[in-house]
Chain A
Amino acid sequence: MFSFKTESIFGQTKQLEREIDQFVDILSEVGLVFKTIIPSYLSNGASNKFDEMVKQVSEMESKADKITKEVERTLYEETLIPDSRSDVLRLLEHMDELIGMYQGNCYHFSIQKPDFPEEFHEDLKNLTETVVNCVESLCLTVRSFFRDIKSVRDNAHKVTYYEKESDKQFSSLARKIFDTDLSLDKKMHLRYFVEKIDRICDHAEDIADEVQIYAIKRAI
């Protein structure tokens, strides 16, 4: 009886480890797709390729949702990691919000079709790259929370670094936008998109801060 139970605990553990890894993979992949979507939009507008990538992000978001629900169900039904359970679930929820933010940005580009003058293209691409790097560092932070707690602080530090970079890039781009002769409504429309991309970094930094606290709580 006990050997069976023990086996099932280890089996479920491996399955859960895989699911959590998959979830982090999805967040990382969504970032990589997002990094391609923005240049694609800036070059070709809302083309078929752009729509396909938006659809791809949407599918990844649904997959991440499913994993979150499955992990939540298993953690509660099998009473696994009782003392870290709420932290892990909150972490997954907040990371899911990040995926949602990527998706939201894609939809807004697809629906509102902002018209970025060419002089801002390079800055917007750079901002996007910094944001994706920031989330990528968050993925490393989360992975180290589960596997290598010593590295949490180092990886979280990178998130903070990219967040600061992104803030600088956002301010600079916003300033450039408002320094042009575009109409105010257009300026505000462009600023809205730049700000929305930058917010991904802010959220990533909040999550990295949370992970650092969870890591302290994990100490025996």
Chain B
Amino acid sequence: MDLTILVFLLGGLFLGWSLGANDAANVFGTAVGTRMIRFQTAAIVCGIFVILGAVISGAGTTATLGKLGSINAMPGAFAACVAAGLAVYLMTKSGLPVSTTQAIVGAIVGWNIYTGSSTNIQILVTIILTWVLCPVIAGLIAMFFFILTKKLLQTTSLHLLRLDAYTRTALLLAGAFGAYSLGANNIANVMGVFVPISPFTEINFMNILTLSSTGQLFLLGGIAIAVGVITYSKRVMLTVGNDLLKLSPVAAFIVVISHSIVLFLFASQGISNFLHSINLPSIPLVPVSSSQAIVGAVIGIGLLKGGKEVKWDIASKIAVGWVVLPIIAALISFVILFVLQNIFNLTVYF
């Protein structure tokens, strides 16, 4: 394999690292922020399940993102990834949980504009719609779970310490599910642009296991996300855990499970096919924003508590990031494509 191809892949791996650094906070931030789970445990569980989710269930959302803009040259994909990664890194530096989804969508649209390719507006609208739907659904699920849990706790009369032990276990399981869903849903953001131009060939392990070229890309991306989780996610975890709304450990569990369900819903081909089979509208398999899901869930609980405890200034800062991020990513993408094409004489599109 050409070494330059590996160098270009580094763009995707950088984006994966950014995603891990930023979005792991959405899965384990509340648990680590409330000190229910140690960062080390969270990072290991998150890393393992992110990789599993990416490799096993990452195909659905990748197909959708591929339709938005099919980047057809390795340097072009590299530029999009680096742009998205840089944009996310800049926002993460300021301690704000931002969306890798919006960064990559911004970067792909940036590539489309630079190359004069058309952007699939229908897909773009679907993706943007999910950006709106995602926090709303997460908020509604969180509200449902909050009411249910409150009723359950009132009837069971668990000892404070027993409740604490159950909550820890629940947070760890919900976090593992969340990490799996994150990997399944967001691997498209990391490796989606490389799928049509994958440099790998299928690997067969003694006729027992076959890893397709896409599977290998997802595995690499998953590992990059895991590295991001382990090396850089602690600070954002503490921001999510403490700043938006002071959450009790039980509420933290509700937030994580609501977020995980939303990500899983938008990534699961099984659920989508099932709904289709019973003549219900199938859920679009779209990489949604993990950050938006978490904010939606936290606000949902905050509203049930009367809305006074939600720190709206931080929520609005995050919302500003949602608007600014795709624009920044598109601009960076444009600049990098220009540099690659005109200074390094690389072909960024065919």
Taking Cβ atoms with an 8 Å cutoff, the residues of A that contact B are 2, 6, 9-10, 13, 16-17, 20, 79-84, 88, 145-150, 218-220
Contacts and interface: CB of A to CB of B under 8 A. Distances in A.
Nearest to B154: A150
Contact of A84 (B149, B153, B158, B160): B160
Interface string B271-314: 00000000000000000000000000000000000000000000
Interface size class, chain B: 20 to 34
B161 interface: yes
Prevailing SS type, chain B contact patch: helix
8 contacts: A6-B169, A13-B165, A16-B161, A79-B38, A81-B161, A147-B159, A147-B160, A220-B150
Contacts of A88: 160
A147 B161 CA distance: 9
Given A2-B172, A83-B34, A220 B161 contact: no
Contact of B160 (A6, A145, A219, A220): A145
A131 B254 CA distance: 44
B164 interface: yes
Contacts of B251: 220
Given A9-B168, A83-B34, A147-B160, 16 more contacts: A2-B172, A9-B169, A13-B159, A16-B161, A82-B35, A83-B249, A84-B160, A145-B160, A146-B161, A147-B157, A147-B158, A149-B157, A150-B154, A220-B146, A220-B149, A220-B150
Given A82-B36, A148-B157, A220-B250, A13 B164 contact: yes
A17 B45 CA distance: 29
A16 B172 CA distance: 22
Nearest 8 interchain pairs by C-beta: A82-B35, A220-B250, A13-B165, A148-B157, A81-B164, A13-B161, A146-B160, A220-B248
Contacts of A80: 161, 164-165
B165 A9 contact: yes
Contacts of B45: 2
Contacts of B160: 81, 84, 88, 145-147, 218
Interface in B102-156: 146, 149-150, 153-154
A20 B158 CA distance: 15
